């Protein structure tokens, strides 16, 4: 029996067929990545803004004296949170594709400029938690919606519960 030093035609064709299948799968992967990369980057950026807003909300609630149901003509609810901190009232409000934090100024004083987090595609739901008739905590559920082809998916889902004065270190609100 002699040893052969080359591939047969059938072996060469089988190798080309496998190589073609691997290349087709790799091209499909690169096509998908190129198509979805901008959407993924935008989703991550919105997630960063939501995370910054949640950190600030946590500090404000932790330093709060109470969470009033209403202040003047403003009422707390699913789209608005009111936080009483040593006589200052802080209002978080969903306005279109943004979340706005305002420190409400007493009558006759100039209000401080608001902080605005642009969060297009983000879903932020606030639920006020009560104990003995008072609001003692805020439950916050968030996720970012984005379109993939013909369907909408939710990414970066989180839930947080912030209790009034949970850390008790008396931090200042700015």
Closest CA to 64 of 45, 92, 42: 92
- State the pTM of this model: 0.74
pLDDT reported for residue 171: 47
d(CA 141, CA 137): 13
Cβ neighbours of 78 (radius 10 Å): 11
Which run of H or of E encompasses 167? none
What is the residue-level pLDDT of the chain in tens, covering all 174 positions? 677 777 788 888 999 999 999 999 999 998 888 887 888 888 889 999 999 999 999 999 998 888 998 888 889 888 999 999 877 899 999 999 999 999 987 777 888 899 999 999 898 999 988 888 888 899 999 988 887 778 888 888 889 899 987 655 544 444
Q: What is the DSSP letter of 22?
A: H
Q: Indicate the domain borders of the chain.
A: 9-163
Q: Which two tokens stand for residue 81?
A: 């949170």
pLDDT reported for residue 100: 95
Q: Kindly report the CA angle at 82 between 142 and 68, in degrees rounded to 5?
A: 125
CB 158 within 8 A of CB 142: yes
């Amino acid at each position: 029996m002699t040893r052969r030093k080359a591939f047969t035609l059938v072996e060469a064709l089988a190798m080309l067929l496998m190589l073609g299948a691997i290349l087709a799968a790799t091209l499909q992967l690169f096509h998908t990545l190129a198509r979805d990369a901008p959407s993924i980057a935008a989703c991550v950026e919105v997630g960063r803004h939501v995370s910054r807003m949640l950190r600030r909300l946590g500090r404000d609630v932790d330093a709060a004296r109470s969470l009033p149901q209403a202040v003047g003509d403003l009422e707390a609810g699913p789209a608005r949170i009111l936080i009483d901190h040593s006589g200052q009232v802080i209002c978080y409000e969903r306005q279109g594709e943004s979340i706005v934090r305002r420190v409400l100024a007493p009558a006759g004083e100039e209000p401080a400029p608001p902080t605005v987090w642009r969060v297009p595609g983000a879903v932020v739901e606030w639920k006020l938690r009560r104990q003995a008739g008072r609001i003692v905590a805020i439950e916050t559920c968030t996720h970012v919606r984005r379109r993939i082809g013909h369907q909408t998916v939710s990414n970066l889902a989180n839930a947080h519960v912030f209790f009034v004065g949970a850390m008790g270190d008396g931090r200042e609100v700015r």
